[in-house]
């Protein structure tokens, strides 16, 4: 089977989780109710710098006749700096993204991040839709919105749907990523109050005569959004991916977690969200 069918969505969205643990954090968040509606927009100032710490954990298992042929565990920790270079007249945001530190194996480009030393300039709409991502093609993973925001102001408990397609390098077909998101209230995130958003969804693999495999890919996650500053202080996305070929089956458990460390003020010592690197690894 071709390597490109094993997808780790990071941006999305993406990715990670210990095989022995639930896909998302065990402790449910403590929500604060909010009145009226909230409009979730990205709204940085020109020159603003953001730094996130990120960690990815991926376990890939290959089976034949229900016996494990091979298991590969990859842990990757990395830090990304984002600088807002320009706010365009139409409201779009031009940002430079640079990975300034990494530790561990794996491709950051597979997670829609630049490799170490690479500066990736991205143009985003205020709703997080990617308009330009360096020289990458428009059907690449770099055009998936890392945080799918609603196109309208939402009330507490309201849901919205995000649908996007992308094609892995040399893949014969595009994949459809369909996510359901729900604003479930507000909660304290350090010195700020953030909207708490739950995420679930699937990646759909088109059925064709040329591809003789069975494919399933589910996604769960959660992120916090500071609607006053237009920032994402914390996010975690997990996925479970299974590919069944004629004789061999592959299962991929993955999780991607991100935490904003600059600007400061979003973390407190008793905050319930887990941090990077991952406290435990799969056994």
Average pLDDT over residues 145-173: 89
Nearest residue to 201 via CA among 235, 233, 164, 234: 164
Tell me if 239 is assigned to some domain. Answer: yes
Tell me if 171 is assigned to some domain. Answer: yes
Tell me if 273 is assigned to some domain. Answer: no
Looking at the predicted structure, is the pLDDT value of residue 131 above 80?
yes
Cα separation, 239 vs 15, in Å, equals: 5
Tens-digit pLDDT profile for residues 16-74: 222 233 344 444 445 556 778 899 999 999 999 999 999 999 999 998 877 878 999 99
Range of the domain at 44: 3-262
Cα separation, 110 vs 208, in Å, equals: 24
> What's the structural domain count of the chain?
1
Tell me if 163 is assigned to some domain. Answer: yes
Cα separation, 103 vs 91, in Å, equals: 36
Nearest residue to 113 via CA among 10, 42, 255: 10
Tell me if 279 is assigned to some domain. Answer: no
List CB contacts of 29: < 8 A, sequence separation 6 or more: 184, 187, 196, 222, 272
Tell me if 283 is assigned to some domain. Answer: no
Tell me if 15 is assigned to some domain. Answer: yes
The confidence score (pLDDT) of residue 29 equals 46
Q: Looking at residue 53, which CATH number applies to its domain?
A: 2.30.230
Tell me if 277 is assigned to some domain. Answer: no
Tens-digit pLDDT profile for residues 239-280: 999 888 777 789 999 999 999 999 999 986 666 788 898 875
Cα separation, 51 vs 100, in Å, equals: 9
Question: What pTM was estimated for this model as a whole?
Answer: 0.82
Q: Please tell me the total number of residues recorded for the chain in this structure.
A: 283
């Amino acid at each position: 089977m071709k390597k490109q069918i094993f997808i780790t969505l990071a941006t999305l969205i993406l990715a990670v989780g210990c095989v022995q643990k639930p896909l998302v954090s065990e402790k449910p968040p403590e929500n604060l109710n909010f009145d009226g509606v909230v409009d979730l927009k990205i709204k940085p100032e020109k020159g603003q710098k953001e730094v996130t710490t990120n960690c990815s954990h991926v376990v890939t298992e290959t089976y034949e006749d229900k016996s494990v042929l091979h298991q590969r565990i990859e842990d990757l920790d990395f830090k990304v700096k984002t600088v807002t270079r320009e706010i365009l007249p139409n409201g779009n945001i031009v940002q430079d993204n640079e990975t300034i530190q990494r530790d561990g194996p794996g491709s950051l480009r597979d997670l829609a991040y630049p490799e170490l030393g690479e500066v990736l300039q991205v143009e985003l709409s205020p709703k997080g839709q990617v308009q330009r991502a360096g020289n990458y093609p428009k059907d690449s993973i770099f055009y998936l919105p890392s945080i799918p925001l609603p196109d309208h102001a939402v009330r507490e408990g309201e849901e919205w749907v995000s649908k996007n397609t992308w094609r892995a390098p040399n893949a014969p077909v595009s994949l459809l990523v369909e996510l359901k998101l729900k604003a479930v209230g507000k909660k304290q995130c350090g010195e700020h109050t953030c909207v708490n958003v739950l995420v679930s969804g699937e990646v759909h693999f088109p059925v064709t005569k040329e591809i003789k495999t069975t494919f399933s890919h589910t996604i769960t996650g959660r992120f916090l959004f500071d609607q006053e500053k237009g920032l994402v202080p914390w996010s975690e996305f997990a996925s479970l991916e299974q590919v069944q070929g004629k004789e061999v089956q592959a299962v991929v458990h993955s999780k991607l977690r991100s935490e904003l460390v600059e600007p400061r003020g979003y973390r407190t010592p008793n905050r319930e969200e887990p941090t990077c690197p991952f406290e435990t690894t799969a056994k």
